Structure 1
Amino acid sequence: MNKSYSLHKINENENCPFKEAEYSRFKFGDKSYAEKFAKELFAGFVNQFEDLILSREEIVILPSPYLSIPTASNFLCYYFKKELNSFLFKNGKKASVESKIYRNQTYVTDYGNLDFEERVKLISNDTYYIDRNFINDKLCIFVDDIKITGSHEHTVNKILNQYSVNGDFIFVYFAELINKDIHPKIENYYNYYAVKNVEDIVNIINSSSFQYNTRIVKYILSLNEEQFCFLIDNISEEKSNDLFHLAISNNYHQILEYKTNINVIKID
């Protein structure tokens, strides 16, 4: 079984079914919106899939692939899992467990403006690993924030086939682009709706519900010298240290475009 569910359907350029500013802050690390979106997403999801969920004893939930730095969808997945496990508890069922697809990313390009073919080509050199034995023959719920071209789902299905994973798979999205006449670059319109400059990034980092994710780390490491120095001067030393350790954990210090800024914040 391979199914897909999305809470919000994007049919028009000018009529977004969710609040763009909230979504943008979520994409850049504001966890309060990850929690809000997850509650809304689970409510819609369980309304459609309640019988299937309650019929299964083994449920595995997986966010979009990453190596060391979580994606924004990882936080969506975290709160979605909390909602799912509360539902399972109320129904006397065993809790779901979380797994992960490991991804070694090979590029720095933001693919939010690319079409399906360009996205698949871009990520084709990435390497992935999944624990086949852990998820095999289980109900697997793959949680992501948005489906634009379907390249993410295509890639995950390719990984599942590569590792010969059996089971039932549901791809769950907060939003999905339904109208294929709309260019995929609308994704970056949503991503950057509330992020126009480095001051907006500083504002998000200094909020009480912030946690670094892949998008904001890559954004920061791509800043020019003046912008980067402004950011470092306006966030705490703790946040700077966190940024450094996350960056090297993902081997970003070995990527030419990120080296300079990482060396500015390196820990002596």
Structure 2
Amino acid sequence: MSGSAAARTASGASPRGRSGGAHTERLTKVHGSGPMAVRALDDVSAVFPAGRFTAIMGPSGAGKSTLLHCAAGLEDATSGRVFVGDEELGTLSDRRLTRLRRERIGFVFQAFNLLPALTAHDNIVLPVTLAGRAPDTAWFDTVVRVLRLGDRLGDRLAHRPAELSGGQRQRVALARALVTRPDIVFADEPTGNLDSRSGAEVPALLRGAVDDLGQTVAMVTHDPAAAAHADAVVFLADGRIADVMDAPTEGRVLDRMREPGGRP
């Protein structure tokens, strides 16, 4: 797909009436002003359909992380609209937006962002604790099983992040993102700080969260092998959607990246 693909969304399906998932409408983000202004996103309409795994790729500076941060409500857009489910983020007060981010959005960072003083277990349930609720024990156990935390960590759920490997820390971060049963999980280069073995496991775990838990995932990555776990890949270039690939394979993604402007 090419040519008019820049005007397309990340899915042919309409987000209207969907429960879960997220989408953006004509999203523009400009950093700075005057002659120094940088247009990080330029009229981007993207859909992250409920129950599906979408990868986001593109050259450095294409706007990948900016799109993710705006879609997650971590950055304000200059213009355009962002929806999580049927809720438009731009219409929410700061208090309601904070609550929505805590309860309906999961975010996985490259640097894990775990609290060093808390155990793995307490890091996982932190969003629920902050909301003043008790964790859903059955759901917690399900998340731990799907992410293989029980098999891999065992009693290490009682250990602090400094006592865990990078791969184990990212599993804890993934579990924390899933513990609230969010509408969508956004993952920003989740394999960036991991060795090759652990890095290969994370996209497979996200795939498992979609298949086994019915989760919705949008992931920024530079890795064709990671993108091959997704249902679709959105390619950005110069702040616009340049292409959309359904049913990606590592080979097809590599071929697309070799095209002009395609390499991260």
Q: Same fold (TM over 0.5)?
A: no
TM-score, normalisation: structure 1: 0.26
Greater share of residues in strand: 2
Q: Which has the higher helix share?
A: 1
Q: TM-score normalised to the size of structure 2?
A: 0.26
